[in-house]
Structure 1
Amino acid sequence: MRLGVLDVGSNTVHLLVVDAHPGARPLPAYSHKAELRLAELLDARGAISEAGVERLVATVQEALQVAEDKGVESVLPFATSAVREASNGEEVLRRVAAETEVELQVLSGEDEARLTFLAARRWLGWSAGRLLVLDIGGGSLEIAYGLDEDPDAAVSLPLGAGRLTAGDLPGDPPEAEDVRTLRRRVRAEIAKVVSEFTRYGTPDRVVGTSKTFRQLARIAGAARSAEGLYVQRELTRKKLEEWVPRLAAMSAQERGTLPGVSEGRSRQLLAGALVAEAAMDLFGVETLEICPWALREGVILRRLDHLP
């Protein structure tokens, strides 16, 4: 069957169309994205602005038309931290439902972490052993650890690259003091939860998912996306530590010229790098693997698990 996953995230609204059957690997058929950066469209009250809501409604309507054009039988719509944490989130959900007939399922931060972990587990297989999975989104950082398909520990922290850029790094390039202040805050937040994971022992493999980790790995020398999903890609803490001060000295336009960095994400890359560096350091990770599957694939896999 042909499924569509409609992901209303903090950075993008992404429709992923896949051909999927129980017991088989979901095969991507089409991808449609629109960059809204909802995490950056919050007003002083923490609400998504009227303009932001109108753009969201229009984007969902466009995605539904694309899904119909591509022969999608069923759409799985969900929203993450930007809608979940907006002070007018319920109003936004009602507006989207009234104008598009799409009822977005709002995932909790823990749900995001668990579904992303499921995707990484299925991609890597049982032989990967105990996994530590890190995912940096636009609005939050998800961390999960476990041996099975359901992790033993899963948390979500408000340390998304888009959120931190909008709230803590206003300059372009940012002021050195702003970077130092954000670095301290990020590390303090992550340090609060480290013990929840380390008590389970040392992971056999550490995995990074999400666009942020893929871009950081690429600028650090990993293979291009054009070389395919099955090429192993890694990010070392040593390389990341070398890149952080370089990214801090660059403007968003300069970061956008780096290999693998999209113009829409270039401004967020420094904040994402600070979060990635802090997580790898505090969890004692020297090298992590890049996994091409993440939250959207986890949603698809969970749906397939429940099909008759």
Structure 2
Amino acid sequence: MDDSDLAETAVAQQGERREGPGTAGHSALAGASAAARAGQRVPSVYAALDLGTNNCRLLVARRAGDSFRVVDAFSRIVRLGEGLETSGRLSEAAMDRTVAALAVCTRKLRYRRVERLRAIATEACRRAANGTVFLERVRQETGLDLEVISTAEEAELAYHGCAPLFEPERPHVLVLDIGGGSTEVCWLERDQGEAIGRLRRSLSLPFGVVTLAERHGGRDVSELVYRRMIVQVTEALHSFDPKGELLALAQAGALQLVGTSGTVTTLAGVHLDLPRYQRDRVDGLHLSRETVLRTSRLVRELDFPARAAHPCIGIQRADLVVAGCAIVEAVLELWPLTRLRVADRGLREGMLTRMIHEDLSRAGAA
């Protein structure tokens, strides 16, 4: 079980005690149409499902005004994109694992009487030659209609989800979202009082922790191989700041870095020496540049069995975390940022926020 699995299992267990069971035959989306027939303009129970190259994640939340309160959560490492780098296809074993996890999500949607759902898929389904075949299998076996989103929308949802962690005193924000098959980098500029601001630039790198680990190896990584990973990432990022604007902002102290991924939450958990992952200790934590580099080295110096045994890494992330560290270090090499803010939030929170705001706006206009 990985770090997010531990945290979200606890959330789910708390939610089970708070919420009563749904009707046995209740469809995952039947509540939405029933609510519309009853004249209910804004749903009460929302869900956001994010199927990535490495993880399958679900959040179920009750609307609280224009925000939400999480009542159930699910996270499972499914490695949907395993082998995709070399074969160009999703393997049968990976699809089987993923469909099993999505079936769990469907049961939770029914149990929680979800009224509005958005379910997305990202890089693995974008790239795989048999991606549409897989999506049809998911529809047939689970009833879920997954929407494959663009890299641009993936980035947008990620920074919307992280917006509550943006610091008002720094007008420029660099959001780093390290995925399994791709990595999204966004530069936002905010005026005083703005929650999010305007997007100045975004870039989707065609690799993430799974991709880099498959290219370079993830179990036993020498310093030379690790350096090659960093070089690959820095070369890919050079086009993001061709005129050195971000470099100047970082040197002036006007740029903040927010990281959202299993890599940065893992680094935070390892730094805090947590006996088990604790989201409330990690989400929003500031890690100094020196702390990030020191913790990254500590993780790299552990052999594979030691990484697998670490309570904040685990067997399922042990061969991927070093690749993630290389991506973070590449960013810190390019831009002299003094610290990284850790976000245990992202796409799902962005989806929930957007759905609620859309519904409230629609209801207000009715």
- TM-score between the two structures when normalised by the length of structure 2: 0.75
What amino acid sits opposite 1:107 in the alignment? I
SS in 1 for 2:158: helix
Superposition pairs of residues 1-308 of structure 1, within 5 angstroms: 1-24=44-67, 26-42=68-84, 44-124=86-166, 129-146=171-188, 147=190, 148-169=196-217, 172-195=219-242, 198=245, 202=249, 203-221=254-272, 226=278, 228=280, 232-258=284-310, 260-307=312-359, 308=362
The alpha carbon displacement at 1:97 in A equals: 2.1
CA contact (8 A) 2:216 2:229 kept: yes
Larger Rg: 2
The alpha carbon displacement at 1:196 in A equals: 7.5
What amino acid sits opposite 1:14 in the alignment? R
The alpha carbon displacement at 1:126 in A equals: 5.5
Change (3 A) 1:191 1:258: farther
Partners of 2:164 and 2:255 lie apart in 1 by 16
CA contact (8 A) 1:222 1:234 kept: no
The alpha carbon displacement at 1:239 in A equals: 2.5
Count residues in correspondence.
Answer: 306
Partners of 1:248 and 1:95 lie apart in 2 by 39
The alpha carbon displacement at 1:178 in A equals: 2.7
Change (3 A) 1:133 1:196: farther
Partners of 2:247 and 2:338 lie apart in 1 by 19
The alpha carbon displacement at 1:225 in A equals: 5.2
- TM-score between the two structures when normalised by the length of structure 1: 0.88
Change (3 A) 1:134 1:199: closer
Partners of 2:233 and 2:150 lie apart in 1 by 21
CA contact (8 A) 1:145 1:197 kept: no
CA contact (8 A) 2:246 2:335 kept: no
Partners of 2:282 and 2:322 lie apart in 1 by 27
SS in 2 for 1:62: helix
RMSD: 2.6
What amino acid sits opposite 1:194 in the alignment? D
Partners of 1:231 and 1:72 lie apart in 2 by 26
Partners of 2:147 and 2:76 lie apart in 1 by 19
Change (3 A) 1:230 1:11: closer
State the percentage of identical aligned residues: 26
Change (3 A) 1:284 1:254: same
The alpha carbon displacement at 1:36 in A equals: 0.7
Partners of 1:149 and 1:107 lie apart in 2 by 22
SS in 1 for 2:46: strand
CA contact (8 A) 2:58 2:348 kept: no
The alpha carbon displacement at 1:119 in A equals: 1.8
Partners of 2:354 and 2:77 lie apart in 1 by 26
The alpha carbon displacement at 1:222 in A equals: 7.9
Partners of 1:150 and 1:18 lie apart in 2 by 27
CA contact (8 A) 2:187 2:199 kept: yes
The alpha carbon displacement at 1:102 in A equals: 1.7
Change (3 A) 1:287 1:230: closer
Change (3 A) 1:154 1:200: farther
Q: Runs of 5+ in structure 2 lacking a partner?
A: 1-43, 191-195
Partners of 2:165 and 2:301 lie apart in 1 by 36
SS in 1 for 2:114: coil
